Amino acid sequence: MDIKHVKDYISWLYYQYLLVTCSYVLEPWEQSMFHTITVTVFAMVVYTAYVFVPIHVRLAFEFFSQIFGAQPESTI
């Protein structure tokens, strides 16, 4: 893949991001604050999903296993 093509594609994605969030109308310092908050919130969502989703999936699996008649594992 051509480096120029990748650079143009990333530039196009960033431009789409600016258009969708309407942050292209902000001043540079406002854009900086907006991007910082957006990245922070996105990072927190990803971290929370990474930590808590597997626990909830396991608990849901155990719950539905008990409902549908699976035998509980022995604790011995």
CB atoms within 10 A of CB 38: 13
Runs of H (alpha helix) within the chain: 3-21, 28-67
Confidence of residue 3 (pLDDT cuts 50, 70, 90): confident
Q: What confidence score (pLDDT) does residue 57 get?
A: 93
pLDDT at 70 over 70: no
In tens, the pLDDT along 26-55 reads 999 999 999 999 999 999 999 999 999 999
Residues in contact with 20: Cβ distance below 8 Å, sequence separation at least 6, in sequence order: none
Please say whether the beta carbons of 23 and 34 come within 8 A: yes
Q: Which own/partner pairs from 60-63 qualify as long-range (CB within 8 Å, at least 24 positions apart)?
A: none
pTM: 0.64
Residues in contact with 74: Cβ distance below 8 Å, sequence separation at least 6, in sequence order: none
What average pLDDT does the chain have? Answer: 90
